[in-house]
C-alpha cells in the first residue's frame, strides 16, 4: 500500500516538479484563497439557513397562535364570514405566509386562503399529535419548500389552524449572500494573484538569478557574481555562491598557471633533450650548433638567433644562425666589437639587452635592428677556462625574456660550451694521434737512415781500415828487414787506433755509455761540455739535489734525449750566445730547465703547424715527457729567448 502511495506521489511530483517555481508559488496562493472563500461560503450559508428558518418558524408560530386566539370565539359562535376575513387578512398582511386555513375538530375545512381550489392532500401533510402545542412540517411543493405549521384552537376543541410559510424569500436572501461571498472571493483571488505574482517575482528573482549563475558556472563561465539582495538565508546563499565561485576561479587560475608551467617545463625538457642529442650526435660542430640553436629558439619561442664563436687569438666568427636576421644579413660581423657582448662575456651569465643595440655589428646597415627586434638576450657559451662563444636570441616584443628563463639559458650556454670543449678535445686528440703516427714513421725512417749511415761508415771507413790492415799484415809477413817490419807495424798501429776512435765515436753516438754506466748528470755534463767546441756558444750545466742517487733508467734517458733535442734546436735555430741547463731533484719530482738567449719563436703556432711542416722535434719532446708521466712546457716569444721546462714525477719507493 505504502509503495503504491509512494509511486503515486512520485508521479504527481513529477508533474508538479516540472512546473516553474513562480507558477508553483502562485498556484499555492490561489488554492489557499479559493479554499478559504469556499469554506467561508459554506459556513455562512449553513448558519444563515439555520437562523432564518428558525426565525420564519417563530414568525409562523406567532401568526398561527394569533389566528387561533382570534378565531376561537368566531368558531364557537359559528360566525364563518369573519373567519374567512381573518384568514384572508392574515395571508395578505404577511408576505411570507403562502396560505392559511382552519379545520374543525373533525378535520373539515372552516375557512381557507385558496379561494376554492384547496389541495386536499395538504390536509394529511401535517398532523398535529394530540396534546402538542404545535407541529411543524417541511413540504416540498412546486413553488418550493413550504414550512407548514399546525397550532390547536382552544386545545383542539375548536379545531386546528394551519399556516404555510414560504421559504422563497429566505432562499433569495441566501442566494444573494452567496453571490456576494463568491464575488468577494473572486476579487480577493484577483488581488491574491496580483500580490502573489509580485511577491513571487520578488522572492524568486534571487533564486532564479542563482540558478542562472549556477548554469553559467557549469558552462565554465566564472566571471559572474551575484549582488546579495538581503541579509536573509537567500542572501547568505548568494554570498556563499560568490565565495565558492571566487575559490573556483582562484583554483582554476592556479591550475592554469601550473598547467602553463608544466607545459613550459615539458617544452624545455624536450628542447634540452633535443640539444643534447644534437650535440652528442655524429654531426660536426657547426652543424650540431645549428641544430641546437633551432631547439633553443623553439624552447624560448623567439624570432631568431645566432651563435658567435670567439677564438683564442681575438678573432671571432658566426657559426650558426636561424630566423631573423637571416644568414645573408649576418655576414662576417664579429661580436667582439659589441659592448653588450663583451659585458655578457665578462659577467659569464646571460644578460638581457632590450632592444638590440643599434651598433650591433651582426645587422647589416640596411636593417635597423632597433626597428626589427625589441627583445635581445646574450648567453655566454662557457667552457671550463674561458668564454668560447656567445648565443644571441632576438624577438619582436620588448619583454619576451623573463628572468625565470635565464637560469635555463645559462644551463644551455654551459651545455653548448661542454659540447664545444668536447669537439675541441676530440680535434686535439685526432691531431695528436696523427702527429704520433708521423713521429713513429719518422723514427722508423731515422732508424733506417742511421743503419745505412753506420753500414756506410763501417764499409767505407772501418772496412777500408781493416782491409788496409790486412794488406799491411801481408806485407809484414814478407818483410825483408826488422826496420821495415817496425815501420809497417807503427803504420798499422796508427790505422788501428784511428779505427778504434771511429768505432768508439760511432758507439757513443748510438748511445752514450756514460748514461748507462755513470748516470744522467755525468752524461749530460759530458754532452754539454762538447757543445761549445762544436757549435760556438756557451752552455752552463747545473745539477742540484741529485746526490749520487740514480733516477729510473727510462727517466734518465728521456731527460737526456730531451736535452739533446733542445740543445740541438738552440744550435740550429736560436742563434744564441749563451744557454743553460738546470737539473734539479725536488720533493717527488725531477725538473729540467733549458734556456737560451736566442731569437725565440711563436711556440703555439709552431706546434699547431708542426705536422704540416714535418717538424716533430718539439712534439717528440712532449711525447717523451708524457710517456714517463711528465709535462713539458715551452715558453718563447720572438726576440725573447726560449725556456723549455720538463717536470717528471718520481715514484716514491
Ligand atoms: N731554441 C729555439 N730558438 C728558436 N727557435 C726554435 C728553438 N727551438 C725550436 N725553434 C723553432 O721551432 C721549430 C720546430 O722545431 P723542431 O720541432 O725541433 O723541428 P726542427 O728542429 O726539425 O725544425 C724550428 O724550426 C724553429 O723555428
Ligand atoms: Mg729540432
pLDDT in tens, 32-61: 888 888 888 899 889 988 998 999 999 999
What pLDDT does residue 331 have? 52
Among protein residues, the one with the nearest Cα to ligand 1's atom 23 is 615
C-alpha cell at 49: 439557513
**Strand (E) positions, 486-614?**
538-544, 578-586, 589-596
Give the chain's length: 653
Q: Which of 319, 352, 317 is nearest to 335 (CA)?
A: 317
Question: CB-based contacts of 534: which residues, under 8 Å, 6+ apart?
Answer: 571
Among protein residues, the one with the nearest Cα to ligand 1's atom 27 is 573
Quote the CA–CA distance of 21 and 589 in Å, as a whole number: 102
Quote the CA–CA distance of 266 and 254 in Å, as a whole number: 18
Burial label, 259 (beta-carbon count in 10 A; 0-12, 13-18, 19+): exposed
What pLDDT does residue 653 have? 43
pLDDT digits (tens, 9 = 90+) for 263-316: 888 888 888 888 888 888 777 777 888 888 888 888 888 888 888 888 877 777
Quote the CA–CA distance of 553 and 19 in Å, as a whole number: 112
Ligand in closest contact with the CA of 442: 1
Lowest mean pLDDT among 355-369, 386-400, 533-547, 604-618: 355-369
The three-state secondary structure class of 320 is strand
Residue 641, pLDDT above cutoff 90: yes
Spell out the domains of the chain, with CATH numbers in brackets: 21-114+133-178 (3.30.450.20), 265-425 (3.30.450.40), 516-649 (3.30.565.10)
Task: Note whether 369 and 358 are within 8 A (CB).
Answer: yes
Mean pLDDT value across residues 316-330: 69
Ligand in closest contact with the CA of 574: 1
What pLDDT does residue 325 have? 62
Q: How far apart are the first and last CA of the chain?
A: 110
Quote the CA–CA distance of 348 and 414 in Å, as a whole number: 10
Measured from the Cα of 610, ligand 1's closest atom is: 17
Q: Which of 151, 180, 179 is nearest to 165 (CA)?
A: 151
More reliable by pLDDT, 344 or 161:
161
Q: Is 134 near ligand 1, meaning CB less than 6 Å away? A: no
More reliable by pLDDT, 647 or 403:
647
What is the crossing angle of helices 482-510 and 464-477, to 10°? 160
**Distance between Cα 519 and ligand 2 center (Å):** 24
Q: Is 606 near ligand 1, meaning CB less than 6 Å away? A: yes
**Cis peptide bond prior to 325, omega within 30° of 0:** yes
Q: Is 642 near ligand 1, meaning CB less than 6 Å away? A: yes
Q: Is 560 near ligand 1, meaning CB less than 6 Å away? A: no
Ligand 1: residue of 563, 617, 632 to mutate (most ligand atoms within 8 A of CB) is 617
Q: Which residue has the cell 735555430?
A: 573
Q: What share of the chain is helix, strand, coil (3-state, %, to 5)?
A: 60, 15, 25
Q: Is 570 near ligand 1, meaning CB less than 6 Å away? A: yes
- In this structure, the number of other CB atoms found within 10 A of the CB of residue 131 comes to 8
**Distance between Cα 504 and ligand 2 center (Å):** 25
Ligand in closest contact with the CA of 570: 1
- In this structure, the number of other CB atoms found within 10 A of the CB of residue 293 comes to 26
Task: Note whether 278 and 292 are within 8 A (CB).
Answer: yes
More reliable by pLDDT, 502 or 548:
502
Confidence of residue 328 (pLDDT cuts 50, 70, 90): low
Quote the CA–CA distance of 226 and 238 in Å, as a whole number: 6
Q: Is 303 near ligand 1, meaning CB less than 6 Å away? A: no
Quote the CA–CA distance of 259 and 270 in Å, as a whole number: 16
Ligand 1: residue of 567, 615, 643 to mutate (most ligand atoms within 8 A of CB) is 615
**Distance between Cα 636 and ligand 1 center (Å):** 11
DSSP 128: P
Checking 115-124 for CB contacts under 8 A at 24+ apart, the result is: 122/148, 122/162
Quote the CA–CA distance of 202 and 25 in Å, as a whole number: 12
| Three-class secondary structure assignment of 571-640 | HHHHCCCEEEEEEEEECCEEEEEEEECCCCCCHHHHHHCHHHHCCCHHHHHHHHHHHCCCEEEEEECCCC
Quote the CA–CA distance of 558 and 624 in Å, as a whole number: 6
- CA 626 from centroid of its chain's CA atoms: 53
Range among 293-297, 323-327, 394-398 rated most confident = 293-297
Checking 173-176 for CB contacts under 8 A at 24+ apart, the result is: 173/48, 173/52, 174/45, 174/48, 174/49, 174/52
Cα–Cα separations (whole angstroms), residue 38 to 5, 41, 171, 194: 28, 5, 19, 20
Lowest mean pLDDT among 29-38, 99-108, 427-436, 606-615: 606-615
Q: Residue 32: phi, psi to the nearest 5?
A: -65, -45
Q: Is 617 near ligand 1, meaning CB less than 6 Å away? A: yes
**Distance between Cα 633 and ligand 1 center (Å):** 14
Residue 578, pLDDT above cutoff 90: yes
Measured from the Cα of 570, ligand 1's closest atom is: 1
Q: Is 442 near ligand 1, meaning CB less than 6 Å away? A: no
**Distance between Cα 598 and ligand 2 center (Å):** 15
Ligand 1: residue of 604, 606, 639 to mutate (most ligand atoms within 8 A of CB) is 606
Quote the CA–CA distance of 389 and 286 in Å, as a whole number: 12
151 bridge partner residues: 161
What pLDDT does residue 568 have? 92
Q: Is 88 near ligand 1, meaning CB less than 6 Å away? A: no
**Distance between Cα 570 and ligand 2 center (Å):** 8
Q: Is 64 near ligand 1, meaning CB less than 6 Å away? A: no
Measured from the Cα of 642, ligand 1's closest atom is: 1
Full DSSP string of 152-175: EETTTTSEEEEEEEE-HHHHHHHH
Q: Is 432 near ligand 1, meaning CB less than 6 Å away? A: no
Q: Is 618 near ligand 1, meaning CB less than 6 Å away? A: yes
Q: Is 90 near ligand 1, meaning CB less than 6 Å away? A: no
Task: Note whether 286 and 319 are within 8 A (CB).
Answer: yes
**Distance between Cα 262 and ligand 2 center (Å):** 63
The three-state secondary structure class of 79 is coil
Q: Is 196 near ligand 1, meaning CB less than 6 Å away? A: no
C-alpha cell at 649: 714525477
Among protein residues, the one with the nearest Cα to ligand 1's atom 17 is 617
Task: Note whether 354 and 342 are within 8 A (CB).
Answer: no
Positive or negative CA dihedral for 327, 329, 333, 336? negative
Question: CB-based contacts of 430: which residues, under 8 Å, 6+ apart?
Answer: none
Task: Note whether 390 and 380 are within 8 A (CB).
Answer: yes
Ligand in closest contact with the CA of 644: 1
C-alpha cell at 151: 397550532
Q: Is 393 near ligand 1, meaning CB less than 6 Å away? A: no
Q: Is 336 near ligand 1, meaning CB less than 6 Å away? A: no
Task: Note whether 617 and 569 are within 8 A (CB).
Answer: yes
Among protein residues, the one with the nearest Cα to ligand 1's atom 26 is 573
Mean pLDDT value across residues 438-451: 84
> Taking CA 386 as the corner, what is the angle to CA 384 and CA 389, rounded to the nearest 5 degrees?
115
DSSP 167: -
**Distance between Cα 597 and ligand 1 center (Å):** 14
Quote the CA–CA distance of 610 and 415 in Å, as a whole number: 32
The average confidence (pLDDT) of the chain is: 86
Positive or negative CA dihedral for 219, 220, 225, 229? positive
pLDDT digits (tens, 9 = 90+) for 57-86: 999 999 999 999 999 999 989 888 999 999
Amino acid at each position: 500500500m505504502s509503495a503504491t502511495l509512494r509511486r503515486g506521489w512520485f508521479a504527481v511530483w513529477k508533474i508538479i516538479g516540472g512546473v516553474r517555481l513562480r507558477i508553483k508559488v502562485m498556484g499555492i496562493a490561489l488554492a489557499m484563497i479559493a479554499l478559504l472563500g469556499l469554506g467561508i461560503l459554506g459556513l455562512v450559508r449553513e448558519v444563515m439557513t439555520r437562523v432564518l428558518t428558525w426565525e420564519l418558524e417563530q414568525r409562523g408560530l406567532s401568526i398561527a397562535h394569533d389566528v387561533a386566539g382570534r378565531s376561537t370565539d368566531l368558531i364557537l359562535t359559528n360566525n364563518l364570514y369573519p373567519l374567512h376575513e381573518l384568514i384572508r387578512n392574515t395571508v395578505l398582511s404577511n408576505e411570507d405566509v403562502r396560505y392559511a386555513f382552519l379545520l374543525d375538530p373533525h378535520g373539515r375545512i372552516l375557512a381557507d386562503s385558496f379561494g376554492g381550489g384547496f389541495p386536499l392532500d395538504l390536509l394529511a401533510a401535517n398532523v398535529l399529535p394530540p396534546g402538542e402545542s404545535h407541529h411543524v412540517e417541511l413540504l416540498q411543493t412546486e413553488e418550493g419548500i413550504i414550512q407548514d405549521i399546525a397550532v390547536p384552537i382552544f386545545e383542539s376543541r375548536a379545531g386546528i389552524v394551519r399556516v404555510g410559510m414560504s421559504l422563497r424569500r429566505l432562499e433569495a436572501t441566501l442566494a444573494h449572500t452567496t453571490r456576494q461571498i463568491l464575488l468577494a472571493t473572486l476579487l480577493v483571488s484577483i488581488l491574491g494573484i496580483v500580490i502573489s505574482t509580485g511577491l513571487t517575482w520578488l522572492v524568486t528573482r534571487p533564486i532564479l538569478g542563482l540558478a542562472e549563475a549556477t548554469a553559467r558556472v557549469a558552462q565554465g563561465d566564472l566571471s559572474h557574481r551575484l549582488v546579495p539582495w538581503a541579509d536573509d538565508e537567500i542572501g547568505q546563499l548568494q554570498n556563499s555562491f560568490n565565495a565558492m565561485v571566487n575559490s573556483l576561479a582562484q583554483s582554476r587560475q592556479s591550475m592554469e598557471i601550473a598547467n602553463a608551467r608544466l607545459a613550459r617545463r615539458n617544452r624545455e625538457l624536450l628542447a634540452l633533450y633535443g640539444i643534447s642529442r644534437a650535440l652528442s650526435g655524429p654531426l660536426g660542430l657547426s652543424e650540431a650548433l645549428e641544430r641546437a640553436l633551432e631547439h633553443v629558439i623553439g624552447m624560448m619561442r623567439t624570432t631568431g638567433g645566432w651563435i658567435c664563436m670567439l677564438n683564442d687569438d681575438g678573432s671571432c666568427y658566426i657559426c650558426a644562425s636561424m630566423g631573423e636576421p637571416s644568414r645573408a644579413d649576418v655576414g662576417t660581423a664579429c661580436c667582439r666589437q659589441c659592448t653588450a657582448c663583451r659585458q655578457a662575456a665578462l659577467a659569464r651569465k646571460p644578460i638581457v639587452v632590450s632592444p638590440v643595440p643599434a651598433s650591433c655589428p651582426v645587422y647589416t646597415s640596411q636593417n635597423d635592428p632597433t626597428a626589427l627586434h625589441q627583445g635581445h638576450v646574450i648567453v655566454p657559451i662557457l667552457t671550463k677556462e674561458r668564454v668560447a662563444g656567445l648565443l644571441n636570441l632576438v624577438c619582436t616584443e620588448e619583454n619576451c625574456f623573463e628572468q625565470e628563463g635565464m637560469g635555463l639559458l645559462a644551463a644551455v650556454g654551459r651545455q653548448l660550451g661542454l659540447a664545444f670543449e668536447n669537439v675541441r678535445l676530440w680535434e686535439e686528440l685526432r691531431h695528436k694521434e696523427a702527429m704520433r703516427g708521423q713521429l713513429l714513421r719518422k723514427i722508423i725512417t731515422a732508424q733506417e737512415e742511421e743503419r745505412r749511415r753506420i753500414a756506410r761508415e763501417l764499409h767505407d771507413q772501418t772496412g777500408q781500415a781493416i782491409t788496409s790492415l790486412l794488406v799491411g799484415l801481408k806485407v809484414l809477413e814478407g818483410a825483408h828487414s826488422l826496420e821495415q817490419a817496425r815501420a809497417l807495424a807503427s803504420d798499422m798501429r796508427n790505422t788501428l787506433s784511428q779505427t778504434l776512435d771511429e768505432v768508439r765515436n760511432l758507439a757513443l753516438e748510438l748511445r752514450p755509455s756514460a748514461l748507462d754506466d755513470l748516470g744522467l748528470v755525468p752524461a749530460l755534463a759530458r754532452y754539454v761540455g762538447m757543445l761549445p767546441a762544436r757549435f760556438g756558444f756557451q752552455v752552463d750545466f747545473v745539477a742540484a739535489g741529485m746526490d749520487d742517487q740514480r733516477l729510473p733508467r727510462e727517466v734518465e734517458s728521456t731527460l737526456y734525449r730531451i736535452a739533446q733535442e733542445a740543445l740541438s734546436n738552440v744550435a740550429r735555430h736560436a742563434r744564441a750566445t749563451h744557454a743553460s741547463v738546470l737539473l734539479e731533484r725536488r720533493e717527488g719530482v725531477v725538473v729540467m730547465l733549458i734556456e737560451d738567449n736566442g731569437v725565440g719563436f711563436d711556440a703555439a703556432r709552431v706546434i699547431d703547424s708542426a705536422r704540416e711542416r714535418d717538424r716533430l722535434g718539439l712534439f717528440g719532446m712532449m711525447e717523451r715527457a708524457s710517456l714517463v708521466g711528465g709535462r713539458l712546457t715551452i715558453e718563447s716569444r720572438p726576440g725573447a729567448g726560449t725556456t723549455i721546462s720538463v717536470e717528471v714525477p718520481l715514484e716514491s719507493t
